[in-house]
Structure 1
Amino acid sequence: MGSCPSSSSEQKGTSMAGTPKPLIWVEPGSVVPREAHIHFCCRSPWRSGSFQLWRDGGCLFQINASREQADVCFPKSLAAAGSYSCRYSQGLHWSELSAPLQLLVTGHFSKPSLRGAPSTVVAARDTVTFLCQALRSYHNPKFMFSLLKAGVPHPVQHQSPEGDVANFTLPSVKAEDAGNYSCIYSVGERSSSPSDALQLKVTGERRAWKQRLRDESWGS
């Protein structure tokens, strides 16, 4: 592990125009509780000797590998909310920063409520809406709500409504949309505890498939 350059001009370096951006991800996921330990990983399109991890516009860590590699994972650290990205070097030049990854750290506020409309048991190809409501009052808050699904390492949807309720719509649901959903809300870099989970059940997939075949045959 190496330290990042101290000056902002050295941190920026010389970028390689037109080169593919790297890919950043975080394990175990981008929504974690307070006190969780995480590590970020960066993947370049080809082997590289150096990688940097950035947070909110500044360089955090630099890895100078003993041999060139395409993937690198930075050492585990205590989760700190923010916008993260990474980049890799080729010779004296650095790539552009990856697309940003927003890390959300939960447990700062009371959990919101979550309900499904019209129901959490729906037929395939129907539409379901999850309504997530913050329970704590703030003075002129600016909430960001996130819909989570168990087994998915990142939020399914984000919303920043004017009030304290977010409506997350899943149109034309399929069997793979079934599962356990929850939601959180964030104020600045602090996020609430997750809501109680709701299980979405999708029924009639086979009937919907047969109906779709009939519709297509009538249309041909």
Structure 2
Amino acid sequence: MRNVFRPRTTGAPPRRVPSVQLLVWTALAGTLLLAHAAGEDGPPRPTAALAPPAAAPAAVRARPHRPEPRPLPASDPVRIGIPAIGVDAPLTPLELDGDGVLHAPPADAPTVAGWYADGTSPGAPGTAVVAGHVDTTLGPAVFHRLAALRPGAAIAVLREDGRTALFTVDAVELHAKDRFPDDKVYGDSDRPELRLITCGGDWSRSTGYRANTVVFATLTGTR
């Protein structure tokens, strides 16, 4: 099992792991976004307010009892589907740059999401990470409505081996970028889990988005 990355938030010497800038996503947050420039409403927000991880409502955070399916072997994902918010998008691998920061998906392809290719494959034991833009200069992007998801929503990830990993949303949370709970989001797991991440919260021309929307999901089936 490959451990998922943990952002570097201490003064330790740099290693080949993403820094906290992965969460900040400066390249995304600093973009002049068409929706805001035109004075339109931004993307949806989760129902939970900005708060420390433990403060999320118990009803939202609790995982209902479900039979756990057999984990899948590693295989690259190629497509993600989220019917509740109309997502059916190709996936591209994302790598780290020389500073250990995860590259964002290409801004000129807003309908494409990316997955951390050196981490866990969706469906395999561990915590897999998929990231996408909320919007770009071209308008709303692949994860524009990510914060509108609710616990119980279905996520399907098609893999190169022809299998599909089926996940169920456990929680949707909004976290300020300067108080992002690294361990909670990226901590490894002995079962297959999935995190979907995009920018969210308030937006300004000077700082971009000030928070991240994070979806927590667990493998509940395969086909």
Which TM class, normalised by the smaller chain length? under 0.3
- Whichever structure has more helix as a proportion of its residues is 2
- TM-score (norm. length: structure 2): 0.24
* Structure number with bigger Rg: 1
Task: Compare relative contact order (CA 8 Å, sep 6+) and give the higher one, 1 or 2.
Answer: 2
